[in-house]
Structure 1
Amino acid sequence: MSNEREIRDEDLMDVAQDPEQAHRLRKALKVLADNPKVGGKLQEMAQEVLAGRIGMKEAIQTPGYMDAIGDRLGEMRRAAENQTMAEREESRTKFAAWQQEQETKEAEERAERDGPSLNIVTGSRRGGGRSHRG
């Protein structure tokens, strides 16, 4: 995918409810596409969507891709069901810390994306550099 065009957040607005959701979806697809532990159809789907070869709406209507998502969710459910109470509590604690970290990163990204348009510095509004006392 290195020499291919990658979709932008806006390209996911056909399935996202707002620009922020589109941004989070693109980031999630990026994680799936770049993580070698994902593999298989799920990783393929993410790579295809990010490259723009298939739309997200089409991807979620493709049986092979939906089966891969279902299989992964099933694995996650089984793993959660097999956890001890101590493991569940540890997972909750780790998730809370991870979630806080993600919220902080998203706030920083949002400020970076939105910031420049709010802090535009322009030259003097007075023409010719003359003083108003002139």
Structure 2
Amino acid sequence: MTADREIQDEELLGIAQDPEQALRLRRSLRTIAGADSLDPDLRDMARSVLSGRVDIKDAVQDPRYTEAVFQRLHEMRRAAEEQSYAEQQRSKAQFGDWERREQAELDRARAERDAPVHGSGRGDRHARR
């Protein structure tokens, strides 16, 4: 297995309930893997799962990774509790903007995933005759 390999959505179906959830999970892992602001253990976990070195089920049961996840959730909750009303409103607006961009990107990824593969199959052979 090379370092350049990245798992496919189907490889996350052991923990994801459907292909849509697998797509979102893989995208989230990519985000975590590339986020320099996050705990190194979280980034390591995401990179290990994405490369296929660690199965997602093993990662969610690893105490090192679960502690890093819970620590990050605690930090996020504490930061949210400390926000002023104006900051909360700005955060909501920023989240809405992010959510629209994310939805557009998910739509693009779904279309790419679900697009028919061209250049192979019976139809191409018959078209050349």
| Structure 2 length-normalised TM | 0.85
Question: Computing the radius of gyration over CA atoms, which structure comes out larger, 1 or 2?
Answer: 1
Correspondence for 1:6: 6
- Give deviations 1:50-82, integer Å, cap 9, x for gaps: 111111111111111100000000000000000
Mapped contact 2:16–2:22 kept (Cα < 8 A): yes
Alignment RMSD: 2.3
**Hey, what's the Cα distance between the residues in 1 that align with 2:115 and 2:51?**
28
Aligned-partner Cα distance in 1 for 2:68–2:111: 35
Q: Is the 8 A contact 2:39 2:68 kept in 1?
A: no
Is residue 66 of structure 2 the alignment partner of residue 91 of structure 1?
no
Matched with 1:69 is 69
Number of positions where the alignment pairs a residue of Structure 1 with one of Structure 2: 124
Contact 2:6 2:50 (C-alpha < 8 Å) held by counterparts = yes
Q: Structure 1 runs of 4+ off > 4 angstroms?
A: none
1:1-134 alignment runs, 5 A limit: 3-116=3-116, 122=123
Query: Identity across aligned pairs (percent)?
Result: 43
Partner of 1:116, secondary structure, is coil
The separation in 2 between residues aligned to 1:42 and 1:3, in whole angstroms, is: 18
Q: Residues 109 and 4 of structure 1: is their aligned pair in 2 closer, same or farther, counting only changes over 3 Å? A: closer
Q: Which moved more, 1:36-45 or 1:22-31?
A: 36-45
User: Could you say if the C-alpha distance between residues 3 and 65 of structure 1 is closer, same or farther in structure 2, counting changes exceeding 3 Å?
Assistant: closer
Q: In the TM superposition, what whole-angstrom CA distance separates every residue of 1:60-114 from its partner, at most 9, and x where no partner exists?
A: 1111110000000000000000000000001001101111111111112212322
**Structure 1, gaps ≥5 residues long:** 129-134
Note the alpha carbon deviations across 1:8-29, whole angstroms, 9 max, x for none. Answer: 1111000000011101101111
